[in-house]
Amino acid sequence: MGSKYDSNWNLALLNDGGEYHHLSKDELLELVGEEWYRDYNAMFIGRDVDCVGRLGVFFMAQSAFVGYEDFERQLFWSAYVPSAREKANWSEMIRLSPPDTNDWSFRRSEIVSKEHAWAIVDYYLASSQTIDMWLLDADGKPTLVAQSLG
């Protein structure tokens, strides 16, 4: 017998306004996989039932931003590159959207490879948990809040 979560995923595609509800994990994985091959995309992945947060993914070419919005604690954490914090331009905003679309820009220290982003998304879809997420204070100092990918 399946759980109430088996067919209760949702996906919102920000670049074309597409929204899908009551998806099975397999349906969601198929849709996300199709969108992943585009050069640019922005999406939110969450639950239709007992939703406590959502995973946001923005990517362009081979660069990506992954963040998690925790509705219960009203926090937002993201993937992070610790070595980027050591560089003078760590807080420079990097745009992950084409010029003729909404401006989705993120700090350089929060930009990961598209491959790394996929590993985070894949883990989230398999376990409904985040991995390799950091909470950043106003000065960009990170605190690990979800175990590291390694």
Q: What is the pLDDT of residues 62-117, one digit of tens each?
A: 999 999 998 888 888 999 888 887 888 888 999 999 998 889 999 998 999 999 99
Q: How many residues does this entry show for the chain?
A: 150
Report field, pTM of the whole predicted structure over 0.85: yes
Mention every residue, 6+ apart, whose C-beta is less than 8 A from residue 13.
Answer: 19, 35, 41, 42, 43
